[in-house]
Amino acid sequence: MKTTPTDLLKTILPDLCIAPLLAKDMEAAQAHLDDLTKPRGSLGRLEDLAQRLYAMSGGQTPLNVAPAIMLTVAGDHGVAAQGVSPFPKAVTRQMVLNFFNNGAGVNALCHASGLDLRVVDAGCDGGPYPPHDILIERRLGDGTADMSQGPAMSREVCLKGLRMGVELARELADKGYRCLGVGEMGIANSTSGTALYCALLDLDPAAMTGPGAGADAAMVRHKTDIVRRSLEVNAALLRDGDAIDVLAALGGYEIVLMAGLMLGAASRRLPVLVDGFICSAAYVAALHICPQLADYAVLSHASAEPGHARALARLTGGEARNNPLLHLNMRLGEGTGGAVAYNLLRCAAAVFNEMATFSSAGVAEKTC
């Protein structure tokens, strides 16, 4: 018998619960937004964000999304051995060191946007890193197994990773963070993400497989074949649609940990910024574990990776307020899109907190 979302949450942690946003809070937020000194709805999606932030807070004001933290989660993938990326697996480790040295895109954008940054080692090849001020170690192993030959990891390891993600999000909430963002680093993780989209959203590998870190047309065709092979060899685990089994079969350590972080943030009623193609694959998996996560997730940007738009169309149902906030042709990953989108959350909170109302400002409302 297929497990329910509640069952899956309890499988991760017995006390894990994500409360829905309440209609009364959404209505109260809308009433306040409609009383602000502007034409109704004239601030567009900033008003949608502010309404959700108010409901997330349970009606507590002023709205506050600071301090905020970006968690760039890194892990290696066994499927990299199949030649699906133009970069060698060693680049994952090299880029983590670049994060430590403050030299990556996510470092610059977090600094510009006022987010703290931490790098989470979920399972990079080469063993643990030396201690560093921005390093959080949550290792599940030295990279996953090759998913084109069998499951990337066991269900037990997958559950451990989800649990660690939830617990880390809770720790950060307890330290006072009011918003979490997730990003990733892992050579070949776009292959893993593509396979997850195909399995969970019933999408075709040929339509979903893209260049990732810069694959040429021949490599994309090969990558498509590897995704198909991965779906075929893991068919028994995928058949029932259990999201934890699907994650274990096709996921990466960083993807599993990100899914846990999202669930953990939502369980503490915090907004969570979802980055691009890979992070959205983790989000799809987490959403299958608990659909209520959608209340707390903010899709930061539409990735230039071609499959992203197809996957998000399945998720959002075409409703504009659920679509990604930004369309900047970004495809770097790392959490860069989330770092840029965080500014919009701050603006939404400022609108709600600081604008005068018609009644307080003595401004006449429209009469017809």
By three-state DSSP, how is residue 286 classified? helix
Can you name the residues that pair with 80 across neighbouring β-strands? none
Where residue 235 falls (left for φ over 0; alpha for ψ -120 to 50; beta otherwise) is alpha
Let me know: does 194 contact 47? Beta carbons within 8 Å: no
The DSSP output letter for 62 is: S
In the residue annotation, 171 being an active-site residue is answered as: no
What percent of the chain is helix, strand and coil (3-state, nearest 5)?
Answer: 55, 10, 35
Contact 334/279 with Cβ under 8 angstroms? no
- Please report, for the chain, how many H helices and E strands are present, in that order: 16, 6
Q: What is the DSSP string of 293-307?
A: GGGTEEE-B--SSHH
Q: Which of 184, 254, 305, 334 is catalytic?
A: 334
For the chain, state the CA radius of gyration: 20
Q: Given the DSSP bridges, would you call strands 116-123 and 68-75 parallel, antiparallel or unpaired? A: parallel
Q: What does the alpha-carbon distance between residue 128 and residue 125 come to, in Å, rounded to a whole number? A: 8
On whether the CB atoms of residues 109 and 294 are closer than 8 A, the answer is no
30 C-beta neighbours (distance < 10 Å), count: 18
Q: Would the CA dihedral through 191, 196, 202, 208 be positive or negative? A: negative
Distance between first and last Cα of the chain: 57
What beta strand segments (E) does 256-347 contain? 272-274, 297-299
Instruction: Give the CA-trace dihedral at 132, 277, 315, 57, to 10 degrees.
Output: 30
Residue 349: CB partners within 8 Å, gap ≥ 6?
50, 53, 62, 63, 64, 65
C-alpha distances (whole Å) from 19 to each of 268, 277, 363 are 9, 26, 38
Q: What residues are annotated to the active site?
A: 334
